[in-house]
Amino acid sequence: MTLPSSQFPDLRNRGVLITGGGSGIGSALVEAFARQGCRVAIVDIAAEPSRALCEKVAAQTGQAPHFIQADLRQVDAVRAAADEALAGLGSVDILVNNAARDDRQALEAVTEESWDESLSVNLRHLFFMCQAIAPHMRRQGGGSIINFSSIAFMLNMPDIPAYSTAKAGIVGLTKSLAGKLGPDNIRVNAVLPGMIVTERQRRLWLTEESIARMQERQCLKRMLVAEDLVGPCLFLASDCSAAMTAQTMIIDGGVF
Ligand SMILES: NC(=O)c1ccc[n+]([C@@H]2O[C@H](COP(=O)([O-])OP(=O)(O)OC[C@H]3O[C@@H](n4cnc5c(N)ncnc54)[C@H](O)[C@@H]3O)[C@@H](O)[C@H]2O)c1
């Protein structure tokens, strides 16, 4: 699937920080925002795919995204990455909190350490990134924050207790931050993807059978891919959604 051709002229020259932008859905967002004429920063733990993506985007648009290597499980690293993004881009108008790891955990195998580890990679950094970026957005008169949750927490999935907890928590976090930051014209919304077939999902978890089973449960009978998240995120970033905050947008092909 190719990126949608829609243009959002108000996004031109905006600063966009995308966590986990090096691969999967995040990489489609990096390309898409760059093609809208945004200045883009990627924060990701994985250097190789992120640098390759920066080269690809530079060849397409003439402007390389600003890559910041950071392990977002560490709060100090989150704060340093926010500072570096602000210094590199000049401004951050849009923050996309996308980085996560959907590792499977059997109930019996969960330890205090593995529980904390999962929440640090799937929930904690979203709060601390918002905390670091919000004062800057407030000073510049507003901004848009997009937090990646998942429909997984609503599907009674047995092997992802901590991930599901984190993704449900992101909805609560989104609503609380929307309440706090709304008076500063900072909008905070969440997107909840369904089964998005990325390279990592195929390598680790998905089979042709599981993909077909999910399509049976979708109204739309096709495989969803990373590019399917682009339109909703551009919309939430743009002034087209200027009155929309504290909302959750499900992009799952209509799972029933
Ligand atoms: N793919 C799906 O089916 C699906 C479904 C529902 C929700 N989501 C959500 O969408 C978002 C993107 O998912 P995806 O499938 O593209 O994931 P992905 O694993 O393909 O990409 C995640 C990115 O985050 C980065 N990352 C992981 N740990 C990090 C860390 N500690 N510090 C910094 N970066 C780190 C990875 O390097 C990677 O580039 C996630 O929030 C995920 O929970 C995905």
Nearest-CA residue for ligand 1 atom 36 is: 20
Mind listing the pLDDT tens digit for each residue in 123-178? 999 999 999 999 999 999 999 999 999 999 999 999 999 999 999 999 999 999 99
CATH-assigned architecture of domain 9-251: 3-Layer(aba) Sandwich (3.40)
What is the number of the ligand 1 atom nearest to the C-alpha of 226?
Answer: 16
Share of the chain above pLDDT 90, in %: 100
Amino acid at 164: S
Q: How far is the CA of 178 from the centre of ligand 1 (A)?
A: 23
119 has pLDDT over 90: yes
Mind listing the pLDDT tens digit for each residue in 166-209? 999 999 999 999 999 999 999 999 999 999 999 999 999 999 99
If we measure between CA atoms, which residue out of 222, 223, 171, 162 comes closest to residue 192?
171
pTM of the model: 0.99
Contact 70, 81 (CB under 8 A): yes
Q: How far is the CA of 233 from the centre of ligand 1 (A)?
A: 15
Q: Model confidence at 61, in pLDDT bands (50, 70, 90)?
A: very high
Active-site residue (options: 67, 128, 153, 163): 163
C-alpha torsion sign, points 28, 104, 156, 170:
negative
Site residues for ligand 1, CB cut-off 6 Å: 20, 22-26, 44-46, 70-73, 98-102, 121, 148, 150, 152, 193, 195-196, 198, 200-201
Q: How far is the CA of 56 from the centre of ligand 1 (A)?
A: 20
13 is catalytic: no
- Where exactly are the structural domains of the chain? 9-251
Mind listing the pLDDT tens digit for each residue in 83-110? 999 999 999 999 999 999 999 999 999 9
Q: What mean pLDDT comes out for the span 60-85?
A: 98
Residue 1 has what pLDDT? 84
- Residue by residue, DSSP assigns 179-245 as HHHGGGTEEEEEEEE--B--HHHHHHT--HHHHHHHHHHBSS-S-B-GGGGHHHHHHHHSGGGTT--
